[in-house]
Each structure stands twice: as C-alpha cells, then as structure tokens.
Amino acid sequence: MRVIAGVAKGRKLVAPIGDHIRPTKDRVKEAIFNSLHSYGLVNDKSFLDLFSGTGSLGIEALSRGANSAVFVDNHEEAIDCITVNVEKLNYGSASKILKTDALNFLKKKEYFDVALIDPPYKYEHWGPLLEHINAHAIVIESSENITLESDWQIIKSQKYGQTNLLIATQQI
C-alpha cells in the first residue's frame, strides 16, 4: 500500500496484518481524488477520514495539498497504524488522530470540507451517521448501495468490484 500522488507519491504505508482492516485499492483512491480535484475539493481543504483504518485516504489528501486531516477510528490497532504512517510522512502538524466511535465524534458537529467514509462491510448505522455529517462533500465506500437525502447532489457513483463508491456535495 502506498501514496499514489502528491508530495508523498510512492511512499509506502504501514498496514496491519489481518483482515479486519481493508485498505482502499489504488484505482478507487485515484477515482476519489480525481473527482474531488475536478471540483476543487482537495487543495487547502479540511478532511475527515472516518473509520480510518490505515489512514491512507486522509494521508492521500494531505499529500495532494489538503490543509488538514482528522483521523477517527475506534480500534487500537488502526490508531497505532495511522500514527506510524502520519509520523513517517511528517504530517503530524496537519493531523489529529482520535480513538473514538464515529457517531460519537460526529455528534460534536465539527465542520469539514470533505468527509471520507469507509466503514466496515455491512455497516448498519447509515441513517444516524449521515444525519450527523457536517461537511460540504462526502465520499462513501460501501458494500451496499447508499441512498442519500435530496439535499445531497451526487457527483460520482460507480462500482469497483464489491465496493460502491459514492461522492456527493451539499450546500451548507
């Protein structure tokens, strides 16, 4: 697993052994950031990497010019992995790493330009999660098809193997 573009292009990222964390495939990551970039949603933007796992999406955003990234995961192994990756690439000053439940974090209503949402497969709390998101744009990776409320405008919806990718914006 590596950073695919930006100032850290080609740098390898640490990933834990096991199957409870599934890093985003490079072609999906490329599709995400090409779409976000075409809408001016990368440079100098704030990112939330929810269910961060390895932190690869937030780190990719920082490598491509994002202003900041907050990494949220409730697994100790993931937090350790994110910490190693952020420190390895010297993104500590632009990052905040939090070991907490995603819904509890979202209830704080902190605003982000872009929220990257990649929950475990068969995630069951989409309604409350989407209700509490406070972001201009969302990127959702999911094994299921997700239906959004009408205040979201879908800018990309595509399937990559078993992964559904959905990118949407809203006016806040």
The CATH number linked to 102 is 3.40.50.150
3-state secondary structure 87-137: HHCCCHHHEEEEECCHHHHHCCCCCEEEEEECCCCCCCCHHHHHHHCCEEE
The Cα 70–Cα 124 span in angstroms is: 23
Asked whether residue 22 is assigned to any structural domain, the reply reads no
Asked whether residue 61 is assigned to any structural domain, the reply reads yes
Asked whether residue 70 is assigned to any structural domain, the reply reads yes
> Tokens standing for 42?
């990368």
| Closest by CA position to 5, among listed 25, 27, 30 | 30
Residue 80's domain comprises: 44-169
How many Cα atoms sit within 13 Å of 145 on the Cβ side?
Answer: 5
What pLDDT is stored for residue 124 in this prediction?
84
Asked whether residue 27 is assigned to any structural domain, the reply reads no
Number of domains in the chain: 1
Render pLDDT for 34-86 as a digit per residue (tens, 0 to 9).
999 999 999 999 999 999 999 999 999 999 999 999 999 999 999 999 999 99
Tell how strand 95-99 and strand 68-73 pair up.
parallel
Would the pLDDT of 19 be above 70? no
Q: What is the pTM of this model?
A: 0.93
Q: How long a stretch of residues is the chain? A: 172
The Cα 6–Cα 123 span in angstroms is: 31
**Would the CA dihedral through 98, 76, 5, 88 be positive or negative?**
positive
Asked whether residue 124 is assigned to any structural domain, the reply reads yes
Asked whether residue 31 is assigned to any structural domain, the reply reads no
Asked whether residue 26 is assigned to any structural domain, the reply reads no
Q: At what angle do helices 26-38 and 56-63 cross, to 10 degrees?
A: 50
- Are the C-beta atoms of 89 and 59 separated by less than 8 Å? yes
Asked whether residue 21 is assigned to any structural domain, the reply reads no
Would the pLDDT of 17 be above 80? no
